[in-house]
Every structure is written in C-alpha cells, then in structure tokens.
Chain A
Amino acid sequence: MRNTTLTALLTVALVTSSAVAQNARLTDNVVKVGVLTDLSGVYSELSGQGSVRAAQMAADDFMRANPSFKGKVQVVGVDHQNKADVASNKAAEMIDRQNVDVLMDLPTSSAALAASEVARQKKIPVMVVTGGTTALTNEKCSKYTFHYAYDNYMLANGTGTAVTKRGGNSWYIMYPNYAFGQDLSRQFASAISENKGKLVTNAEATPFPNTDFSSYLLKAQGLKPKIFGTMQAGADLVNVVKQYNEFGLRQQGIGLGIGLLFETDVAALGQDAFAGALATVPWYWNLDQRARDFAAKFEKAFKKKPTFAQAGVYSATMQYLQAVARARSDNGDAVVKALEGYRFSDFFARNAYIRPQDHRVILDVYTVQVKSRAQSKEPGDIYAKVATIPAARAFQPLSESKCKF
C-alpha cells in the first residue's frame, strides 16, 4: 500500500515536471529576460539598476507593440559583483531555477566570459552589452553568445586611429592588469602602429584597482609622448584623469587618449577635466532626435539620462524579443537562428547586422570629443561628434576573427 502510494506520487511528480519542462521549451507563455549585471560595484552606475529598467521598458514596449503575442515577458535583475565565479553561479541558477530564457548586459569582461560559457552548456542565448573583450567573438566565441554595442577592437580602431591621424602619433599607454585592460591595450597598440604612430615605451600594466597613478604620469612626463593613453575604466579612469590634470600634462603638450569612456565618468569629474579628449562610443543620448526621444522616455522612468550601456540593453532586449516572435519560440537554438544574419536599424544600433559567423553585432559608431563646459548647450551635453565610423569598418573584419563555432 505504502509502496503504491509512493509510486503514484512519484509518477505524478515526474509527469508534471516533464510537462513543465516541455512547456518551457515551447514557450511556456513566459519569456524571461535575465539582466546579469553589477548592482553594487564600480559599474553599477553606468549599467546596474538602469540596465534592469531599460530591459523592463523594452519588455513593456514590445508587449504594447505586439498585442497578438501570446505570452508574458518578465525581467529579472541579478547582481554578479563583477566576479567571474559569481557570474557563473548566478547564470546557472537563473537558467536552471528561474527558467531565464536569455542573459543580458554583463559588464566586466571576465564575468561576461564566465556567463557565456555557462549559457553555451545550457543552450541559452546571451547578449553581452557592457562587457568589452574581443575574446567573446574570437577564441572564446560561442553559438549562443552575441556581442552587442561595443568592444575593444572598435574602441581602439576608432580612437586610436582618429587620434593618431590627427597628429597624436607618439603614445604612452598604461592599462589595468586584467582581461579587459590587456586586450584593450593590445588593440590600441596595433591601431596606432597601423596608422604609422608609435609607442614611446612598452605599454605599462598597472595594478587593478588602483588609485595613485602619479608614478606613471611622471614617467610619461619624462618620455614626452604626444598622447597619454589610458585604458583604465570607471572609478580608476576618474583617478587617472584627475591626476593627469593635476600634473599639468595638458599644459606640457601631452594630450589625453581614453580607451573606454562612459558619460558617468565625465559627470564625476566635471567635463572640463576631460575637455578635448577623444573617445569612441556606440551611442550617446543627444546623437539625434531618435536617440533624444528614447533618452527622454528613459529619464522620465529612471530620473537619469541613459548611458550607452543602458540604451544598449534596451535595444538588445527588444531585438531578442522580436527574434522570439519571429521564431515563434523561446527555444535557444530557434532564437539564435532568428537572430543570425538579421539586419535592422533602431534608435540605438544604426545599419546594424548580426554577423552569423562570429555573432558580432556590427553597427555605426561615433568618435566624439568631450566638450568644455562653455561649449555645451544643456546639462549632459558633453560630446561633439568628430566622425561616424560606418558599421562595416567599425569592428574587427571577419577575416581576422578566430571564431569557430
């Protein structure tokens, strides 16, 4: 008797669980977007809660625009603390326990690589928006990973080329000693040499994180390069630029080249500290009217202007959901197929194309120059566009890709 009850219970349990699993594969009426991001650390202001909100806005807009879509879209935000091991655990937990159908955002290259590996094993798509390393579309590429918005090749190609061509042909470069910094520094060095510029000394690795950069600034002062190139990001970059100004390098004729610049870094120091510096960005809020419209909507919801990371998360979420609609399924393989080779143009990604061979999402990007306070017309108006780099030339050409799915 006891045994029969147990067997019956087990059978019921098995049947129900397999039914749930079956449902999940065939759109269980919920498409769940997991925003795996930095909710507490150095990148929380440029991505963080703002990224979660952006994904939620995309979900709402998608539902409004597609009333015939049968199902719900849910968004969850999870903190990966910029740590690879945490990212890996959280990604697995989100996919296994919370039935998340796609991972989104992923600042910090090492965390992005770790989550991408988990998603590959579990056959779930990942849209890396805020992580920068080019390994994601090269040796560490995966059939399920898409690299959105920007990457180190594009930053170096854009800024390294623009600065070198404008006469900044001798560089001193320092970089934070972790995956992102090492990669970015390599990309810059090759962009500079391709444009007949040179490094005055080998690029220098600094500890990460780090607050005091005076030793490197003094060294650069002695070597007299035309450009002081920094690959630091976030809070470290703020320290670098503060000290660059303090040591008066600008007055000594040494320009500033910045690897990766976010709007929030400029806000932290005041734009005059950055004035004149060149950087390359995939988007900024007052790029044009469509961008401004989105920014206004975002600001209404979040009380702040969107960074390119947050705008990118909106765009990536929307593209993912539309791919789900095209595929009529949230099955990972089906959505990947619907995304591959897709061409589109939205408020964020212009002339965009999802390259099927390496899943690099290519789009127009912009080399910008930071305006001085006197030059800006309204609060947050910090960039002047120097050049538009068309999608086809902005990113690493396929011929150089080391990606094999």
Chain B
Amino acid sequence: MNTQLLLIQVFNGLVNGAFYALLSLGLAVIFGMLRIVNFMHGALYMLGAFTAFALGQAFGLGFWPSLLLAPLLVGALGMLLERTLLSRLYGLDHSYNLLLTFGLTLLTQDLVKQVMLSRFDVSSAPFTPPAALAGVVNLGFVIFPKYRLFVIALALAVCLITWFVIERTRVGATIRAATENPGVTRAFGINVGRWVTGVFGVGVALAGLAGVLAAPIYSVEPYMGAELIITTFAVVVIGGMGSILGSVVTGFAVGVLSAIGAAFYPPIANTLVFILMAVVLLVRPSGLFGLPEGAR
C-alpha cells in the first residue's frame, strides 16, 4: 500500500466526513431530544443548497450572506413544519413521523425540480466557490482546493460549538431537561413546546448549512440529498442513536474510510459504511457511543 496515497485519502476523506458529521449531528440532536426520526433531513440539506443558489439568482447575494441566510430560512421552515405537522404526532409510533417526513421529502424534491426547470431553466444549478476560497493550495503532500479546507474547518467548529452548548451550558441543560422530563420542566415555568420547536429548528438549520457548504462542490439538484441521507442514517446508527459525540466522530470516520476505500478498491467505497454498520450492530447493538435503551 502506498503510504502517501493513504495519507492523502485520509485527509481528503475529512471533507465528506464533514458533511456526514453536520448532517448526522442535526439528526442526532433532533432524535436525541425530540425522538423524531427525521427522514426529511436530506431534502432540507438539498433545500439549503438550492436556497443559496436561488438567493444568488434572485437577489445577487454572494456565498457569504447565503451561508448565514440559507440555514436561517431552512431552519425557519423546519420550525413551521414542526409546529404545524410534526407536533401532532408526538406520542404516536415512530412510523407516523417517518411516513410524514418521507412524504414531505418527495414533495420538496418535486417542488424544487419544478421551480428549477420553470423558473431557472436548469435541472442542476451552477454554483462556484467564493472568490476568496477559489483555487488550490499546495500542502506539500497534496495539492488541495482551498474551499475544501474551509469546509473541514467550519464543520469542525460548528460541531464543537453544538456539542459545547448542549453538554456544557445552561441552555443545553434546559433543553435536556425539557426533553427528559417535560412535566417537571413545565412546572418550573419553562415553555417546553417552544424549546422543542427551537431545537428542531437548529437541527434542521445544520442540514441547511451543510447544503450551502456542499453547493460549490456537488451539483445542486433536487435529489442531491437522497443518496446522502441513507449514508447519514447509517452513521447515526453506528455512532449510537441520539449521541452527539458519536455522530460527529463517526461522521468524520466514515468519510475517511470511504475515501480510502475509493482509492484502493473503488467498488467497496459506497458499501463500506453498511459493512461497518453491520459489524458494529453485532458487537454493540446501541452503537459505538450510544447508551443502551434502559440507561436513558
């Protein structure tokens, strides 16, 4: 095995890992706190990318304002959906919210497809990295796009901040309390419903953010989230459903492993994550960082 190639692919894998981590982090936050299996996460990721493109086309907004605005818009849409639709399903079986979010996914994809074709006349939207991050940089062992370095750095920072807020701050403590024991929390005069909506919004905004970050790398098209979401669910399962640390660590790890797979034995690149999932589930049914159901 060629060590330089190995090193290069480990590094390269962090980029995809960043997307897996951001998406599975959002899923983990939403599942861990609200017990919602959000199948729509991939579509919201796509919506983040599409919103960035549309903002640019309609208002001439560049990458940087979009990077802030698109996740906010996607997050707001998420909160609206949570208030109007998802909140009606709490306490029911998981399959209800799974079906609902799956239906919303199909709806969103077709809607975006229609808008792209009719309003922008493309099936896949052009989007380039911002001028400041265009081009490549020679890192000595590899020539690498600047933009991808930025993606790794930003994703790491966002993951760290999210983890810190939830595990180490008062806000996080309130959220955890509101979801662990809504009755008692309510008795303290805390509006639990509002916190739940907020958490869902943040989780969804993370997907939107990943989407904007992906727009300069992958083609922006209605189904861009469909493939990714399956891998992301596998990441969440491997990391342990609802575990924040698990989703981030596993996200990056899976990215690195599939990059190595793609370089040394391409046919395995897309299956690797499922092999990994099967092995982990055999050894630790609750995932690498997950707590067994009873311990929650």
Contact = CB atoms under 8 A, between A and B. Distances in A.
Which one of B125, B135, B143, B227 has the greatest number of beta carbons of chain A within 10 Å? B143
Nearest to A264: B123
B136 A215 contact: no
Interface string A258-284: 000000100111100100000000000
A218 interface: yes
A211 B220 CA distance: 11
A253 B270 CA distance: 30
B143 A211 contact: no
Contact of A209 (B117, B125, B217, B227): B227
A212 to B, nearest CB: 6
Interface in A182-241: 204-207, 209-212, 214-216, 218-219, 221-222, 235, 238-239
B33 interface: no
A207 B15 CA distance: 19
Contacts of B126: 268-270, 273
B264 to A, nearest CB: 9
Contacts of B121: 304
Which one of A177, A214, A264 has the greatest number of beta carbons of chain B within 10 Å? A214
A242 B217 contact: yes
Contact of A177 (B135, B224, B263, B267): B267
B216 interface: yes
Nearest to B126: A270
A215 B217 contact: no
A69 interface: no
A175 to B, nearest CB: 10
Contact of B266 (A206, A214, A242): A206
B269 interface: yes
Interface stretch (B4-12, B58-66, B77-85, B152-160): B4-12
A309 to B, nearest CB: 14
A290 to B, nearest CB: 26
Interface residues of B, number: 38
Interface in B93-125: 117, 121-125
B259 interface: yes
A238 B148 CA distance: 18
A205 B147 CA distance: 27
A355 to B, nearest CB: 35
Contacts of A333: none
A381 interface: no
Contacts of A5: none
B263 A268 contact: no
A185 to B, nearest CB: 13
Contacts of B135: 248
Contacts of B266: 177, 204-207, 215-216
A4 interface: no
Contacts of A242: 217-219
Contact of B12 (A177, A215, A252): A215
Given A235-B124, A242-B219, A268-B122, A205 B267 contact: yes
B145 A218 contact: no
Contacts of A28: none
A214 B122 contact: no
B123 A215 contact: no
B252 to A, nearest CB: 15
A342 interface: no
Given A204-B266, A248-B145, A251-B136, A214 B219 contact: no
A212 B218 contact: yes
Contact of B269 (A45, A207, A239, A304): A207
B16 interface: yes
Interface residues of A, number: 35
Contacts of A248: 135-136, 143, 145
Contacts of B117: 45
Given A205-B266, A219-B5, A45 B123 contact: yes
Given A248-B135, A264-B123, A215 B218 contact: no
Contacts of B262: 206, 212, 215-216
Contacts of A210: 270
Interface string A71-114: 00000000000000000000000000000000000000000000
Interface in B126-162: 126, 129, 135-136, 142-145, 147-148
Interface in B1-56: 4-5, 8-9, 12, 15-16
Which one of B5, B117, B219, B269 has the greatest number of beta carbons of chain A within 10 Å? B219
A88 B245 CA distance: 48
Contact of B5 (A222, A246, A247, A270): A222
A39 B16 CA distance: 31
Given A215-B12, A267-B122, A269-B219, 19 more contacts: A45-B117, A207-B266, A207-B269, A211-B219, A211-B224, A214-B12, A214-B259, A216-B266, A218-B5, A218-B142, A219-B5, A222-B5, A235-B124, A235-B221, A239-B218, A248-B136, A251-B136, A268-B125, A304-B121
29 contacts: A45-B123, A177-B266, A205-B267, A206-B262, A206-B269, A214-B12, A214-B15, A215-B12, A215-B263, A215-B269, A216-B263, A218-B5, A218-B8, A219-B263, A221-B142, A221-B143, A222-B8, A238-B219, A239-B218, A239-B219, A247-B136, A247-B144, A248-B135, A248-B143, A264-B123, A267-B122, A268-B122, A268-B123, A268-B125
Please provide the 9 A-B residue pairs with the shortest distance between their CB atoms, ordered closest to farther.
A215-B262, A268-B124, A248-B136, A238-B219, A207-B270, A45-B123, A215-B263, A270-B126, A246-B145
Interface of B: 4-5, 8-9, 12, 15-16, 117, 121-126, 129, 135-136, 142-145, 147-148, 216-219, 221, 224, 227-228, 259, 262-263, 266-267, 269-270
